[in-house]
Amino acid sequence: AIRATLAPAREEATATVRRGQDEGVFADHVPAPVLALTLEALMLALAAENAASTWADPAGEVAATALLVAAGVAPQVAALRVREVLDESEGHERRSDVRRFAASARSH
């Protein structure tokens, strides 16, 4: 059931993996569909373990890094890129919070 639910995302993931392989970012020792399925299985395992509280990864930083490493990205590069994305996201959230606060203050 979950595989059917994930089918649309799987197609997009396979295309992303293929682009990464073509650009030399992801490993190409297995075909893109196989690597995408492998990464899907890893993601589901990490999510299940996180939900079962066997370990905590609230921001998804460890899981995202693990997925990139499994795709063939060097561990240090993967960790740095994930941190950059999280920092960028947190900055966006802070800016959004400031805008909401300012809008709220103007309406009072």
pLDDT (0 to 100) of residue 107: 56
Structure tokens at 99: 């805008």
**What is the average pLDDT value for the chain, to the nearest integer?**
87
User: Which tops the pLDDT comparison, 104 or 38?
Assistant: 38
> What percentage of the chain reaches a pLDDT higher than 70?
84
Q: What are phi and psi of 102, to 5 degrees?
A: -65, -45
8 Å CB contact between 79 and 65: yes
The angle that helices 2-22 and 32-51 make with each other, rounded to 10 degrees, is: 130
- The pair of three-digit structure tokens given for residue 66, joined into one six-digit string: 């693990």
Interacting residues of 49 by C-beta distance below 8 A, sequence separation 6+: 55
Place of tokens 């959230």: 93
